[in-house]
Amino acid sequence: MAAVGLLYVGGALFVNAMMLLGKAEPRSVGIFNLFVGVLQVVVPFYIIATAEDPNVILNASGIFLFGFTYLYVGITNLGGFDTTGLGWYSLWVAIIAVVYSLLNFFYFGDPFFGVIWLMWSFLWTLFFILLGLKREITRFTGWVTMVEAWITCVIPAFLLLAGRWPVG
């Protein structure tokens, strides 16, 4: 179930990249962010509520970082709100993502997702700099978002769904 959510995270990153690169209007992108945000809150809630394995719960808890990010982006874009709150939230998420990276490296034995979580931490750091500190790195952030959409979400999601994810 989480792999399906990962696929749609890739979709959200893709449309957000298009927005940052000036190819999509923020309000229209905001709608898709809300769809994915709801998915990324409902799915981990279900997984956590039904799981008995603490490792499954721990893994699912990271999905909320995406869900709340996309809900925040969607509401901010649709409402035309200032982005500084979203930017500072992104800094907090970037720090937490490093913890998930370390867990994947040293606890779950999945170095591939360890690297992916580091890449996501970098991306959330860029969002902090762009949205929270209001530095002009929009194009760079847009291109990093585009690349990460494919290499950290879409491709891994399909590998997971096909049972081809390299673990260990």
> Nearest to residue 68, comparing CAs of 101, 119, 34, 43?
34
Report pLDDT for 166: 81
pLDDT at 23 over 80: yes
Domains of the chain from N-terminus onward:
2-161 (1.25.40.600)
**% residues pLDDT > 90 (the chain):** 94
Local confidence band at 61 (pLDDT 50, 70, 90 cut-offs): very high
The one-character DSSP state at 1 is: -
Task: Give the whole-number percent of the chain exceeding pLDDT 70.
Answer: 98
3-state SS, one letter per residue, for 69-113:
HHHHHHHHHHHCCCCHHHHHHHHHHHHHHHHHHHHHHHCCCCHHH
Mean pLDDT score across all residues of the chain: 95
Query: What residue type is 39 in one-letter code?
Result: L
What is the Cα–Cα distance from 17 to 2, expressed in whole angstroms? 22
Q: At residue 156, does pLDDT exceed 70?
A: yes
| Rounded mean pLDDT, 90-111 | 96
Contact in structure between 93 and 73 (CB atoms under 8 Å): no
Whole-model pTM?
0.94
Q: What is the reported pLDDT for 140?
A: 98
